Structure 1
Amino acid sequence: MKTPSLPDLRAFVMVSKLESFAAAAQALHLSQPALSRRVAGLEEVLGVRLLDRTTRSVALTSAGRRFLADIGQVLGDLDRSIMGLHDVARLEAGDVTIGCIFSVVHHFLLEVIGTFREQHPRVMVRLVEESGDEVLASVKSGQADFAISYTGMHDPDVEFTALLKEPFVLACRPEHPLAGRRTVRWEDLGDHPYALVSHESRIRFLIDQALERVGRLPRPVCEVRHVSTLIGMVETGLAVAVVPQLTLPNAPAPVVGVRLEQPVITRTVGMLRRRGRSLSPAAEALAGILLGAIRARNKALGRTRARRS
C-alpha cells in the first residue's frame, strides 16, 4: 500500500482549515493547480473522497471530517516535535548528563557548569558523582553523555581523551613537621602515623602497583574506603594521608599537600565517551567549555612551574 506524502497531508489540512483552494495555495506558496493535484493524489492513495468541491465552495465529506480529526493531531504532534528538536539544536532546550569522580567536581567542574549555564540557561545539567568504576559504567550504559574519570583508558567501548596528569600527595595539617617540605619520600612516612584507602579502592591499586619495586614500606595505621574519610582524619590530626592532589579541599581548609617522590605516583584524568557515538549539541557545547578550561589550567600550571624552576 502506498503511503501518503507529508506535503499532500499538509495540503489537505490547509484546504480544510481555510475552506478555499485559492487561500490554501497562497498560504502554502503553491500554485492552485499544484495544490489541487496534491489533494487529488491524496484521495487517490487513500481510495476515498475527502473534499466536495464546487465552483464556489469546498466542504469536507464525512470521511474527510474523520480523517482531518486524526491527521490534524498527528501533524500537530509532529510540528511540536520538530520545533523541540530545533530548540535542542539551538541549545534553547534539552539536558546534558555528566559523570564525574568526586574530586573533580569542586576543583573545576562547577566553574565550567557555571559558564555553560550563563551561555545556555535553558539547558538542564545533570551530574552523576560516583567512584571511577561507577562513572565508567554510566558512560557505557548511556546514562551519562560523557564523563570525567581516571578509569576506562583501555576499555574498548570507550574513547578516553587525557586531560591532566594528577600527582599523589601527602595530605597533612599546615603545622605538621612534613608540611614545610617541597617533596616527601615514601620512606619518610614511617616516622608518622599515616592512612590509606583500602584495597577495595582503585586508587589503592594504583599506589600498590607503583610501589611494587620499592620494597617493604611502613604499614599504615588506618585504612578506609573513601578519600573524604582520609581528609577528615587529616583535618582532625589523627594521621597524615596519601591522596590524589585534586581530592585536597580548597583553601582555607586546614589541609596542605606535599608531593610524594621515590617513586612519584600519578593518575591520568580524562574525558570518557562511548566509542562511535556522537554527542548531543548540549553535551558537545559543555565538553568544549570543559576542554577549554582544562587547557587554560594546564597552561597556567606550566607557567607556575617554569617560574619555580
Structure 2
Amino acid sequence: MASSSVPLDPDKLTRELDWNLLRTFIVLAHSTSITEAADRLRLKQPTVSSALKRLEERIGKRLINRSPGHFELTEAGHLLHKEAVEIQGSILRLGTLMRDISDEVRGHVEIAMASHVVCPLFDEALRAFHEAHPAATLSINISASKDALEAVMARRASMAVCLVRKRNPKLEYARLFREFFGLFCGPPHPLFGRKDLTKADLAGQSSVSFVTDRLEDALRPVTLMRAEADLEDRVVGTSANLEEVRRMIIAGLGVGPLPVHVVRRDLEDGLLWQLPPYDNLPEIDVHLVWNPKAKVNRAEMAMLEMLLGKIRMTPIENRTYA
C-alpha cells in the first residue's frame, strides 16, 4: 500500500478508480466483518478482501482497521464512505434523469417520511400536485427520521418529511408543521380512565417510546417530559414507527408519548387515555428537507415548489396542531 505521506495524483485516481470498488466499500462500511459484507454482496470472502486491498492501494490510505474482533473505519475510511454514498446517489438517479430527456412532462417524486405524519397542508399539496401534473408519479416511503435524512443526503429520495435534531449544512430545511406530544396509556393500564391524576401518579410506571426519545436526539423535549413524570428509567419497548409505539401503549406495555392531534380519534374511541401533564406540552417541529445540490426532474421541482409555496402562504399558527 502507498505511504500516507505520498500525495494522491487526482488524474491517476480518476483513471483507475473503479465504481464497483466503491460500491463494495459502502457495503463494507455498513458491515461488522468482511464475511458479513461478502454475504450481503453474495460474493466470496477472498473476492471482497481483494477489492478492499485494491481500493486501499488506489487511495493510498488504510480504510478499515481490521483484526480478530475488531473491524472499524479509519478516518480516511469515514471520509471516503461519505463521498461514496453521494456518488452512489447520483448514479441511482441517472435513470430518472435520462427518462426526463425523452419525456419532460413525466417524472417520479420519492418522499422519505417519518411514520404517521398527519398534516392537512401536506395532504392538500399532494392533491394539488396530482391535479396539476397527472402524468407524474409519486411514492412515499416510511422510515425513521435519521434514515429519511440519509436518503435525501445520498440523493435516494427527492425530499424528506421528518424530525430534525441537528441540521446538516449541505441540506435545506423548512418547517412544515408543529405538533404537541402528550403521555398516554391503554385500557389494560391501571391508570386508564382515571380523571383525578397528577404527575405523581406516574412515578415508577413502565414506559414505551420512540427510538429518538433521547436527550441528544430529535425528541429531546419528550424525553424531558418523561423524566419530569418520574417514569421508570427502563423503557420496556421502543420503535421508530408511531403505529408500533401506539400499539404497545394500547396493549398495556406502559405509558408512552404520542402526538395529541394524531390520536384524537383513539381518545374518542376509548383506545387511549391521556395522562398528566395536560398543560405546557412539549412542542415538536416536523420539517420538509431537501438537497439543493441534487439534480431534480420537473416533477420533483414542482412538488418542492408547491410545498414551499403553501408553507410561505400559511402562517405557522395555522400549521400548528394542538
TM range (shorter): 0.5 to 0.7
Residues 256 and 109 of structure 1, relative CA distance in 2, 3 Å threshold: farther
Question: Which residue, 91, 97, 116 being the options, matches 1:103?
Answer: 116
Structure 1 partner of 2:146: 133
Code of the residue aligned with 1:240 in structure 2: it is V
Residues 125 and 284 of structure 1, relative CA distance in 2, 3 Å threshold: same
Residues 152 and 285 of structure 1, relative CA distance in 2, 3 Å threshold: farther
Cα distance in 2 for residues equivalent to 1:240 and 1:188: 12
Cα distance in 1 for residues equivalent to 2:188 and 2:225: 31
How far residue 130 of structure 1 moved from its aligned partner, in angstroms, is: 0.5
The number of residues matched between the two structures is 217
Structure 1 partner of 2:290: 273
Structure 1 partner of 2:167: 154
**1:196 counterpart = 2:208:** yes
| CA deviations over 1:114-156 (Å, ceiling 9, x no partner) | 4322321210102221001100100000011111111264212
Structure 1 partner of 2:65: none
Which has the larger displacement, 151-160 or 139-148?
151-160
Code of the residue aligned with 1:162 in structure 2: it is R
Code of the residue aligned with 1:155 in structure 2: it is N
Question: Which residue, 253, 263, 275 being the options, matches 1:248?
Answer: 263
**1:235 counterpart = 2:234:** no
Structure 2 partner of 1:74: none
3-state SS, counterpart of residue 160 of structure 1: strand
Residues 99 and 195 of structure 1, relative CA distance in 2, 3 Å threshold: same
Which has the larger displacement, 229-238 or 96-105?
229-238
| CA deviations over 1:167-226 (Å, ceiling 9, x no partner) | 221234599867787xx86544228x452226xx12334347852996682316752221
Code of the residue aligned with 1:128 in structure 2: it is N
Identity of aligned residues (%): 19
Structure 2 portions without partners, runs of 5+: 1-96
Structure 1 portions without partners, runs of 5+: 1-80
| CA deviations over 1:254-290 (Å, ceiling 9, x no partner) | 3365674687423221111114446433123222443
Cα distance in 2 for residues equivalent to 1:212 and 1:248: 18
**1:119 counterpart = 2:132:** yes
Residues 116 and 157 of structure 1, relative CA distance in 2, 3 Å threshold: same
How far residue 158 of structure 1 moved from its aligned partner, in angstroms, is: 1.2
RMSD, aligned α-carbons: 4.4
3-state SS, counterpart of residue 197 of structure 1: strand
Q: Which has the higher helix share?
A: 1
Which has the larger displacement, 227-236 or 95-104?
227-236
3-state SS, counterpart of residue 168 of structure 2: coil
1:1-309 → structure 2 map (5 Å cutoff): 84-85=100-101, 87-88=103-104, 92-104=105-117, 109=122, 112-151=125-164, 153-172=166-185, 186-190=199-203, 193-197=205-209, 201-205=211-215, 206-207=219-220, 211=224, 217-219=230-232, 222-226=235-239, 227-245=242-260, 248=263, 254-255=271-272, 260=277, 264-277=281-294, 279-291=296-308, 296=314, 298-300=316-318
